Chain A
Amino acid sequence: MTGVETLMTVDEFERLPDDEWRTELVRGRVVREPPATLDQGWLASRVSFVLTDFVNRHGLGETFLATGFVLFEEPPTVRAPHVAFVSRSRLPSREESVHFGRMAPDLAVEIVSPSSTATEILDRAVDYIDSGTPLVWVVEPSRRSVTVYHSRNEIRLLQEGDALDGYDVLPGFSVPVAELFARSTTG
Chain B
Amino acid sequence: MSTRIETLMTLDEFERLPDDESRTELVRGRLVREPPTGMDHGRLASRVDRRIATFVEEHGLGEVFIAETGFVLFEDPPEESTRFGRMAPDLAVEVVSPSNTAVEILDKTADYLEAGTRLVWVVEPTRRCVTVYRSRNEIRLLREGDELEGYDVLPGFSLPVAEIFGPSTGAGGTSSEVSK
Contacts and interface: CB of A to CB of B under 8 A. Distances in A.
Interface of A: 112, 114-123, 125-126, 129, 138, 140, 142-143, 145, 147, 149, 152-153, 155-159
A155 B120 CA distance: 14
Contact of B139 (A115, A123, A145, A157): A157
Contacts of A119: 96, 98, 100, 124, 126-127
A117 B110 contact: no
Interface stretch (B14-22, B53-61, B101-109): B101-109
A138 B106 CA distance: 11
Q: Give 4 closest A-B pairs by Cβ, nearest first.
A: A155-B139, A118-B105, A121-B102, A157-B136
Contacts of B99: 117
A116 B98 CA distance: 11
Contacts of A138: 102
Interface of B: 1, 96, 98-107, 109-110, 113, 122, 124, 126-127, 129, 131, 133, 136-137, 139-143
Nearest to A130: B143
9 contacts: A116-B101, A117-B102, A118-B106, A119-B127, A138-B102, A143-B103, A152-B143, A155-B139, A159-B110
B106 A117 contact: no
Contact of B106 (A115, A145, A149): A145
Nearest to A118: B105
Most A CB contacts (10 A, CB to CB) among B101, B113, B124, B143 go to B101
